[in-house]
Amino acid sequence: MTCIFLGHRGKVETRQKAVLDFLLCLIQVQRETIRSLNKGRDKRLTDQQRRRLAILARAVLNDFLQSIATLSYSPDTFLRWYRRLVHQKYRPETRGRQGRPVTSPETVALVQRLAEQNLSWGYRRIVGALKHLGVTLSKNTVARILEDAGLSPAPKRTRSWRCFLEQQWSSMVAADFFTVELTRGWGIQRVHVLVMMHLATRRIHIAGIVNEPTQA
């Protein structure tokens, strides 16, 4: 019987201490809030103050929290702060990212462009060029980017059609024939017109008119 009484007494004392700690913290937070108001600052609680109150409120019985509901914050508010603390502790982004860091799409495109435009450059040469541009990557990362893009290491790397077209675009033309029916004194004659278009400017040039495409 004595053991049961002592155990119950110990629980009461523990509960009283939790209540006292909570009330002292609440008073301290209210004083800090008043000082902030006197200095013209925001009256809202800081995250640190919310954490302190939430942890102590968790150890206090709900009926006691209901008895002090006339204060600035309701019992549900304290318990909501505590649940938020638990959520922030265990959500994945708060534990730090693990594994290899993600390379931005802009950096990946830059590595591919350097490799395509400089066929003799190896991984180390590309790493050095990136460093001059303010981008820091390891040799292994450059190798992985080129492998994912299907680009072989130097000197086996060949220039892609895209790179070739980008470099030669300003001097490239497209050519084709179209036919025109001309009226002559003796009837109608079909002629072939050779047209060339400068791809960079989209300008059209008439290169010649012949009776047959094979005619010189």
> What H or E segment, with its residue span, contains residue 206?
strand 203-210
Predicted confidence at residue 14, as pLDDT, reads 62
Parse the chain into domains and list their residue ranges: 2-95, 105-167, 172-210
Predicted confidence at residue 16, as pLDDT, reads 66
Distance, in Å, from the CA atom of 29 to the CA atom of 23, rounded to the nearest integer, reads: 10
User: Looking at the predicted structure, is the pLDDT value of residue 206 above 70?
Assistant: yes
Predicted confidence at residue 46, as pLDDT, reads 74
User: Looking at the predicted structure, is the pLDDT value of residue 154 above 80?
Assistant: no
pLDDT band for position 8 (50/70/90)? very low
Distance, in Å, from the CA atom of 48 to the CA atom of 51, rounded to the nearest integer, reads: 5
Which of residues 102 and 207 earns the better pLDDT score? 207
Sign of CA dihedral 187, 188, 189, 191: positive
Distance, in Å, from the CA atom of 98 to the CA atom of 100, rounded to the nearest integer, reads: 7
Question: Hey, how many other C-beta atoms are within 10 angstroms of the C-beta on 208?
Answer: 11
Whole-number average pLDDT of the chain: 73
List, for residues 180-200, the tens digit of each pLDDT value.
Answer: 888 776 778 888 999 999 988
**Cα Rg of the chain, angstroms:** 39
pLDDT band for position 204 (50/70/90)? very high
pLDDT band for position 159 (50/70/90)? low
pTM of the entire predicted model: 0.32
Predicted confidence at residue 175, as pLDDT, reads 92
Distance, in Å, from the CA atom of 87 to the CA atom of 79, rounded to the nearest integer, reads: 12
Burial of 42 (C-beta count, 10 Å sphere; 0-12/13-18/19+): exposed
Distance, in Å, from the CA atom of 85 to the CA atom of 82, rounded to the nearest integer, reads: 5
Predicted confidence at residue 104, as pLDDT, reads 87
Q: What is the mean pLDDT of residues 30-37?
A: 73
CA end-to-end distance (rounded Å), the chain: 123
Highest mean pLDDT range out of 54-63, 96-105, 155-164? 96-105
Distance, in Å, from the CA atom of 123 to the CA atom of 33, rounded to the nearest integer, reads: 58
Alpha carbon 35 to chain centroid, angstroms: 41
